[in-house]
């Protein structure tokens, strides 16, 4: 793959193919490190022209659930690093608390402080929809990140991964591998994340729809909670329920640590597995080709970096310079790409 191809692939990952202003830095820290790398901070300084040039000061309020797994940790790390790349951005974080009620209270306090823009990843989009409406009615644009508000009036911009597309990508990989192996009537397992979340339901629907188009179905489905412990419990139940398996899709690479532990404990190797999100550990395992994990489908926490950059533009009344329109779009959905042994090296820099 050429350097230009790698750059284009990265842009597709960040924005699902959307045109991005040349002056807007959108790549943030995508690891669990607390500080951005020199290359990432230098990128913002070098691009100090056009939209990236210092302008009107923007106070961005930010709220996301406390990190109970690597993906959420990367969300907050990326947001902080991206805000620090701009001299005209003041970043104000409020604790999200342990649940939706606590986050709602914290957001009410933030709204009373009247930041220019609020970026929020809610505990649950439906439960925090009212907080989005409150901010918007107060004249504060809201960037809704990842877990979607159902009411379009509750946000100025909604940016999230392609959850349905994740399911499609995972199913397409599994179907292709099963066909290549000549497997008929395969037994397919699924380990989703938190089942009450709309994003989980969308992922499962994309998976089920694509399997059905190929005459296949999920044999057993055991939800987890995006954590290693819950992944281990769900996988243990799945393995006990299915004495023979041909393929598994695990929605989340963080809970995949526990899934792989359960698989190793059960000494089961007759199947292959696809992960989800694109953690650095998952990519390294895929690259080493020493576990049942053979691929993962992306859902990059770099979306938090993009959210901060776009919140800044909204606060300054600017659009995206590569677009004809004068305003930032209402919705952005990131593309979900499939990482395999063949291309893992290209994506490691985006792992979290």
Average pLDDT over residues 108-127: 96
**pLDDT-based confidence at residue 115 (cuts at 50, 70, 90):** very high
Average pLDDT over residues 106-125: 96
SS3 94: coil
| pLDDT over 90 percentage in the chain | 79
Average pLDDT over residues 230-255: 98
Average pLDDT over residues 206-220: 98
Cα R_g (the chain), whole angstroms: 20
Average pLDDT over residues 258-278: 97
Q: Where are the domains of the chain?
A: 18-155+301-334, 163-298
Statement: residue 299 has pLDDT above 70: yes
How many alpha carbons lie under 13 Å from residue 81 in its C-beta half-sphere?
31
Statement: residue 224 has pLDDT above 70: yes
**pLDDT-based confidence at residue 66 (cuts at 50, 70, 90):** confident
* DSSP string of 171-232, one letter each residue: HHHHHHHHHHHT--S--EEEE-S-TTSHHHHHHHHHHHHHHHHTT---SEE----SSHHHHH
Statement: residue 293 has pLDDT above 50: yes
Average pLDDT over residues 19-38: 33
Statement: residue 29 has pLDDT above 50: no
**Residue for token digits 């995972």?**
170
Average pLDDT over residues 80-87: 96
How much is the mean pLDDT over the chain? 87
Average pLDDT over residues 82-88: 96
Statement: residue 3 has pLDDT above 70: no
Residues 6 or more apart whose CB falls under 8 angstroms from that of 53 comprise 23
Statement: residue 209 has pLDDT above 70: yes
Average pLDDT over residues 69-96: 93
In this chain, the answer to whether the domains covering 18-155+301-334 and 163-298 adopt an identical fold is yes
**Residue for token digits 């292959």?**
272
Segment 153-178, tens digit of pLDDT: 999 999 999 999 999 999 999 999 99
DSSP class of residue 244? S
Nearest to 154 by CA among 125, 180, 176: 125
Distance CA 334, CA 192 (A): 20
Distance CA 249, CA 192 (A): 8
**pLDDT-based confidence at residue 351 (cuts at 50, 70, 90):** confident
The larger pLDDT score, comparing residue 20 to residue 301, is at: 301
The answer to whether the CB of 160 falls within 8 A of the CB of 336 is no
**b/e for 238-262, b at 16 or more Cβ within 10 A?**
bbeebeebbbbbbbbbbbbbbbbbb
The larger pLDDT score, comparing residue 184 to residue 19, is at: 184
Taking phi over 0 as left and psi of -120 to 50 as alpha, with beta for the rest, 215 belongs to left
pLDDT at position 49 is 57
Distance CA 213, CA 201 (A): 18
The answer to whether the CB of 118 falls within 8 A of the CB of 142 is yes
Average pLDDT over residues 319-343: 95
Statement: residue 314 has pLDDT above 90: yes
The larger pLDDT score, comparing residue 24 to residue 221, is at: 221
Segment 119-150, tens digit of pLDDT: 999 999 999 999 999 999 999 999 999 999 99
Average pLDDT over residues 46-50: 55
Distance CA 206, CA 171 (A): 8
pLDDT at position 10 is 33
Average pLDDT over residues 52-63: 95
The superfamily CATH assigns to domain 163-298 is Response regulator (3.40.50.2300)
pLDDT at position 48 is 52
Backbone angles phi, psi at 116, to 5 degrees: -70, -35
Average pLDDT over residues 299-315: 95
The answer to whether the CB of 103 falls within 8 A of the CB of 122 is yes
Statement: residue 7 has pLDDT above 90: no
The superfamily CATH assigns to domain 18-155+301-334 is Response regulator (3.40.50.2300)
pLDDT at position 51 is 87
């Amino acid at each position: 793959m050429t350097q230009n191809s790698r750059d284009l692939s990265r842009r597709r990952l960040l924005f699902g193919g959307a045109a991005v202003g040349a002056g807007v830095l959108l790549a943030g820290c995508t690891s669990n490190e607390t500080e951005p790398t020199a290359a990432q901070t230098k990128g913002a300084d070098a691009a100090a022209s056009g939209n990236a040039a210092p302008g009107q000061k923007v106070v961005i309020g930010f709220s996301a659930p406390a990190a109970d797994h690597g993906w959420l940790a990367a969300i907050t790390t990326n947001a902080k690093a991206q805000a620090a790349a701009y001299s005209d951005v003041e970043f104000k974080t409020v604790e999200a608390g342990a649940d939706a009620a606590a986050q709602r209270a914290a957001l009410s306090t933030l709204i009373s402080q009247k930041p220019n823009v609020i970026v929020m990843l809610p505990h649950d989009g439906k439960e925090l929809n009212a907080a989005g409406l409150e901010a918007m009615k107060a004249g504060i644009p809201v960037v809704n990140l990842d877990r979607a508000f159902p009411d379009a009036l509750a946000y100025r911009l909604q940016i999230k991964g392609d959850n349905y597309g994740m399911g499609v990508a995972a199913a397409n990989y599994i179907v292709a591998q099963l066909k290549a192996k000549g497997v008929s009537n395969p037994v397919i397992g699924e380990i989703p994340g938190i089942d009450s979340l709309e994003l989980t339901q969308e992922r499962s629907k994309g998976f089920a729809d694509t399997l059905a188009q190929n005459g296949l179905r999920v044999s057993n489905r055991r939800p987890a909670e995006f954590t290693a412990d819950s992944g281990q419990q769900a996988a243990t139940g799945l393995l006990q329920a299915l004495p023979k398996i041909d393929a598994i899709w695990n929605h989340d690479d963080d809970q995949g640590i526990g899934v792989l532990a359960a698989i190793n404990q059960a000494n089961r190797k007759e199947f292959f597995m696809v992960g989800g999100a694109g953690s650095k550990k998952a990519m390294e395992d895929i690259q080493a080709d020493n576990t049942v994990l053979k691929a993962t489908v992306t859902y990059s926490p770099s979306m938090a970096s993009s959210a901060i950059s776009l919140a800044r533009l909204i606060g300054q009344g600017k659009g995206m310079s590569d677009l004809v329109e004068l305003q930032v779009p209402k919705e952005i959905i990131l593309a979900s790409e499939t990482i395999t042994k063949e291309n893992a090296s290209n994506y490691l820099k985006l792992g979290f």
